[in-house]
């Protein structure tokens, strides 16, 4: 970046002070001695995002100037030591997405006082700037959360730079692991058997060029990630090239951990060796003999791990994590989920239009780490479906992280087999039914589709498998708990209670009925059901309230007494 002269800075300061209002990408603060570091980070995010949206190369935060016209220079003593300003750059980089920090903190010594001009880089195309995971913007002069429309405008911008494709000037072929290069060649030949004769005699540089790992013999960041020596990872700094495996006990306390660096071509095997892939037993459909299977399918684990490597936002300066709990694995990588939703990936079943690291992803295809572009997630779902295991759970709630959970625990074998072995169901319906069994929220379209098919019952959000399904599984008891009795049953209970005790309050009826109501209702729905039932019985003149509204109690009417006597005489009580 070209260094800005003092004359240029003074001219811009004079120009901006004369503006009638502050702009979205410009902010003045007096900050005479101190400034809240959290607020500073929020302004960094906001001004960076607004600079992007306004087509500016940078946003500016200026200390030592009053923010009201005529914007007098008041001077600031904030970070007067150059070393503290350098430390501030690092502190900001540690808390922002992609480790963005100030282009420069310019210091001007003017006759009116000292001024600091923070030059904040515009958000990268396609990548909004976050501070501690939150995205900020500006509404006029106010600091606000970045609104969804502006967030999507930045996200929709074409990414002009592929981090993984950039040549590392100081790196050479000597920075690559010889064993990894040999293995990579073997995998390339396996992927391209027609090239076996010529590929075996290519020089290392030629092979790496042909495999699109290097560019004209020069080492790329992708090459260092996939094939680099561990000690050569410093060439990627400040990016972090590391997989972190952690083993937790049942309470969530860490029992063991290990970090794995390049070459990532071998790291997958190293991580898989650490994971305890125990044997579990289940009864396959139509058989009386148990079958032993591993908790985790190796194809699913490799696909999930290689997806993390391919789609990690290495500029965020974070590790790829693999957390092993008692009955699940949780893998996470930094970066937004570019295809938007899992349902979109499943339904389209085609390569996405945009990749975060296209050069790296294509290199992984050529080295046989990824079979085909775009179908890996769908394949993971299909494998888990065929094994009668729960489907992978993708958590996309964080704005800059993708988390996938892979269950190593069979839920109900017959129940799961019935759902997943039904050839009439598309994978989208299987995903929706999997959400039901995991008590996850269904969107309206999925809910209506499953409801019409008679596969689910209950009231949202408390849905459960329908009776026709439950009858063929081991979930009969759960269905009975979820199924509601008809209103006549509860009416009889209230009449019997009042016949026995004479009167009852609403609180008494809650004690009587709440444990008997369907588990498919939440507490609010149960209480509303009781209130509606009492009002219906009042309209039917079976019961009547007495006392004030806030301290009412209910008693039987003459009609209610007669109804209860008929129940006794019929012997149905």
Domain limits, the chain: 6-155, 161-410, 487-570
Rounded to an integer, what distance in angstroms lies between the CA atom of residue 210 and that of residue 230? 24
What is the band of 2 on the pLDDT scale with cuts at 50, 70, 90?
very low
For the ranges 43-52, 225-234, 241-250, 390-399, which has the lowest average pLDDT?
A: 390-399
Residue with more model confidence, 318 or 293: 318
pLDDT at position 159: 60
Say how many C-beta atoms besides its own lie within 10 A of residue 397's C-beta. Answer: 7
Q: Write the CA distances from 378 to 154, 343, 371, 374, 524, integer angstroms.
A: 28, 10, 12, 8, 38
pLDDT at position 353: 52
Residues 539-562: what's their mean pLDDT? 84
Rounded to an integer, what distance in angstroms lies between the CA atom of residue 205 and that of residue 222? 15
What is the band of 25 on the pLDDT scale with cuts at 50, 70, 90?
very high
Q: Which helix (H) or strand (E) holds 9?
A: helix 6-17
pLDDT at position 87: 87
Tokens in use for 562?
């007669």
What is the band of 348 on the pLDDT scale with cuts at 50, 70, 90?
low
- Sign of the dihedral through C-alpha 359, 364, 367, 372: negative
- The reply to whether the predicted model has a pTM over 0.75 is no
Residue 284 has pLDDT above 80, yes or no: no
Q: Write the CA distances from 61 to 78, 103, 114, integer angstroms.
A: 13, 12, 14
- Which letter, b or e, does each residue of 22-49 get, where b requires 16 or more Cβ atoms within 10 Å of its Cβ? bbbbbbbbbbeeebeeeebbbbbbbbbb
What is the band of 164 on the pLDDT scale with cuts at 50, 70, 90?
very high
pLDDT digits (tens, 9 = 90+) for 45-68: 999 999 999 988 899 999 999 988
CATH architecture of 6-155: 2-Layer Sandwich (3.30)
Closest-CA residue to 112 (of 23, 17, 4): 17
Residue located via tokens 């396609």: 126
What is the band of 271 on the pLDDT scale with cuts at 50, 70, 90?
very high
What is the band of 262 on the pLDDT scale with cuts at 50, 70, 90?
very high
Closest-CA residue to 239 (of 261, 256, 218, 217): 261
Query: 1.10.10.10, 3.30.365.10, 2.70.70.10, 1.10.268.10: which CATH number matches 487-570?
Result: 1.10.10.10
Residue 252 has pLDDT above 80, yes or no: yes
Q: Which of 141-145, 414-418, 453-457 has the highest mean pLDDT?
A: 141-145
For the ranges 103-112, 284-293, 395-404, 492-501, which has the lowest average pLDDT?
A: 284-293
| Helix locations, 104-177, DSSP H | 148-155
- φ, ψ of residue 427 to 5 degrees: the values are -65, -30
Residue 567 has pLDDT above 70, yes or no: no
Residue with more model confidence, 458 or 70: 70
* CATH, domain range 161-410: 3.30.565.60
Residues 232-253: what's their mean pLDDT? 91
pLDDT at position 487: 76
Q: Give 340's contacts (C-beta < 8 A, 6+ positions apart).
A: none
Q: Which helix (H) or strand (E) holds 464?
A: strand 462-465
Residue 453 has pLDDT above 80, yes or no: no
Closest-CA residue to 275 (of 240, 305, 247): 247
Residue with more model confidence, 484 or 525: 525
Residue 128 has pLDDT above 80, yes or no: yes
What is the band of 69 on the pLDDT scale with cuts at 50, 70, 90?
confident
Q: What percent of the chain has pLDDT over 90?
A: 39
Residues 283-291: what's their mean pLDDT? 52
Closest-CA residue to 305 (of 373, 225, 370): 370
∠404-410-414 over CA atoms, to 5°? 130
pLDDT digits (tens, 9 = 90+) for 402-448: 999 998 877 655 456 555 556 566 777 778 878 887 888 887 888 88
Per the prediction, the chain carries an average pLDDT of: 84
Rounded to an integer, what distance in angstroms lies between the CA atom of residue 295 and that of residue 284? 15
| CA-based end-to-end distance of the chain | 88
Q: What percent of the chain has pLDDT over 70?
A: 85
Residues 67-91: what's their mean pLDDT? 89
Rounded to an integer, what distance in angstroms lies between the CA atom of residue 132 and that of residue 33? 25
pLDDT at position 484: 57
Q: Which of 130-134, 275-279, 551-555 has the highest mean pLDDT?
A: 130-134
Tokens in use for 87?
């430390």
Residues 381-400: what's their mean pLDDT? 82
- Which letter, b or e, does each residue of 325-351 get, where b requires 16 or more Cβ atoms within 10 Å of its Cβ? beebbbbbbbbbbbbeebbebbeeeee
Residues 172-198: what's their mean pLDDT? 94
pLDDT at position 65: 95
pLDDT at position 349: 57
Residue 471 has pLDDT above 60, yes or no: no
pLDDT at position 486: 65
pLDDT at position 356: 82
Residue located via tokens 């009858």: 471
3-state secondary structure of 23: coil
3-state secondary structure of 140: coil
What is the band of 519 on the pLDDT scale with cuts at 50, 70, 90?
low
């Amino acid at each position: 970046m070209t260094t800005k002269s003092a004359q240029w800075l003074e001219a811009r300061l004079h120009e901006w002070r004369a503006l009638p209002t502050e702009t979205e990408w410009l902010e003045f603060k007096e900050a005479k001695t101190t400034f809240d570091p959290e607020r500073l980070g929020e302004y960094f995010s906001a001004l960076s995002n607004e600079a992007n949206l306004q087509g500016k190369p940078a946003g500016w935060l200026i200390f030592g100037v009053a923010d009201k016209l005529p914007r007098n220079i008041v001077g600031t003593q904030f970070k007067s030591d150059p070393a503290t300003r350098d430390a501030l750059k690092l502190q900001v980089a540690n808390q922002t997405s992609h480790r963005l920090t100030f282009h420069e903190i310019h210091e001007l010594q003017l006759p009116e006082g000292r001024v600091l001009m923070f030059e904040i880089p515009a958000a990268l195309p396609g990548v909004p700037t976050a501070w501690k995971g939150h995205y900020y913007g500006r509404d006029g002069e106010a600091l606000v959360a970045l609104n969804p429309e502006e967030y999507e405008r930045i996200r929709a911008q074409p990414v002009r730079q592929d981090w993984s494709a950039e040549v590392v000037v100081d790196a050479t072929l000597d920075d690559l692991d010889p064993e990894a290069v040999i293995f990579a060649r073997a995998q390339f030949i396996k992927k391209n058997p027609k090239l076996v004769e010529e590929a075996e005699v290519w020089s290392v540089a030629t092979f790496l060029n042909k495999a699109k790992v290097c560019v004209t013999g020069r080492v790329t960041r992708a090459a260092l990630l996939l094939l680099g020596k561990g000690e050569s990872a410093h060439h990627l700094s400040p990016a972090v090239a590391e997989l972190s495996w952690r083993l937790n006990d049942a309470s969530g306390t860490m029992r063991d951990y290990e970090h794995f660096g390049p070459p990532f071509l071998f790291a997958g095997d190293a991580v898989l060796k650490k994971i305890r892939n125990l044997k579990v037993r289940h009864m396959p459909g139509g058989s009386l003999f148990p079958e032993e299977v591993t908790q985790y399918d190796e194809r699913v684990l490799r696909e999930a791990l290689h997806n993390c490597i391919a789609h990690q936002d290495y500029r965020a300066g974070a590790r790829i994590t693999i957390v092993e709990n008692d009955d699940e694995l949780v893998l996470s990588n930094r970066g937004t989920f570019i295809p938007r939703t899992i349902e979109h990936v499943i339904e389209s079943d085609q390569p996405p239009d945009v990749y975060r690291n296209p050069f790296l992803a294509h290199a992984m295809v050529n080295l046989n780490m990824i079979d085909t572009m775009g179908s890996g997630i769908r394949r993971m779902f299909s494998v888990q479906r065929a094994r009668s295991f729960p489907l992978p759970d993708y958590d996309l709630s964080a704005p800059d992280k993708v988390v996938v959970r892979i269950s190593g625990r069979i839920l109900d074998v017959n129940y799961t087999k019935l759902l997943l072995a039904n050839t009439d169901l598309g994978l989208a319906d299987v995903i929706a039914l999997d959400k039901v069994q995991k008590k996850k929220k269904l969107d309206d379209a999925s809910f209506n589709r499953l409801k019409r098919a008679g596969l689910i019952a209950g009231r949202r959000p408390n849905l459960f498998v329908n009776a026709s399904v439950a009858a063929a599984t081991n979930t009969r008891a759960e269905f009975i708990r979820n199924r509601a009795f008809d209103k006549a049953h509860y009416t009889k209970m209230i009449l019997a209670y009042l016949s026995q005790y004479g009167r009852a309050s609403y609180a008494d009826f809650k004690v009587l009925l709440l444990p008997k109501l369907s588990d498919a209702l939440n507490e609010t729905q149960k209480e509303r059901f009781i209130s509606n039932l009492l009002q219906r019985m009042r309209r039917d003149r079976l019961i009547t309230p007495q006392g004030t509204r806030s301290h009412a109690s209910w008693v039987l009417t003459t009609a209610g007494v007669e109804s209860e006597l008929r129940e006794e005489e019929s012997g149905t009580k």
